[in-house]
Amino acid sequence: MVADPSPALREVLTQLAQAVGQYEDKASYAEDHDRWSLYHAAMDTSTALPLLFKAVSLEPDRPLASGVVGDVLERVPGDERQRWIRLLSPAVRGFSERRAHDLEVLESLKQGAVSAEAVDDLIASWSDWLQRRAIDATTDQDVLRVVSRKGRTKKIRQAAVNALRHD
């Protein structure tokens, strides 16, 4: 069981709640689900991200911190991702490191910087999440054909086939 938040974290959480318009009294934020709810609201408020960063740096619940960082990575520019990942204990960094890599691949796909040949070579190492997202990230017919043949699951392969039909 994780201890109640420190006074320093409680102070940041109060500021964060005000920044996202949550004025109800949750002064202790002792429950992790209350903190998660607040963190989630802050992720979508760009002006609250500096406070969220500070809160995550003080968060005693390492899995909670990891979940927040994993979600934030999709919302911050690529050059800020490592800064967020470094907030995490090495014991819980793995997921966020993989997600950051997956996001880099997605951005490359969107830019058309990944050839079908490269996808053919790499797709087996991609997470299911990345394979699903790749379908929406590209209009390259050759890339979609590779995913339709080599996607890990039937659902992924079928989604790629459907994308090919709609383009």
* Residues 6 or more apart whose Cβ sits within 8 Å of residue 151: 123, 131, 157, 159, 160
Domain boundaries, the chain: 1-111, 113-167
State the average pLDDT over residues 148-166. 97
pTM (2 decimals)? 0.86
- Spatial distance between the Cα atoms of 134 and 142, rounded to a whole number of angstroms: 12
Token pair for 124: 């087996």
pLDDT digits (tens, 9 = 90+) for 76-135: 999 999 999 999 999 999 999 999 999 999 999 999 999 999 999 999 999 999 999 999
pLDDT digits (tens, 9 = 90+) for 5-28: 888 999 999 999 999 988 666 556
Contact 66, 84 (CB under 8 A): no
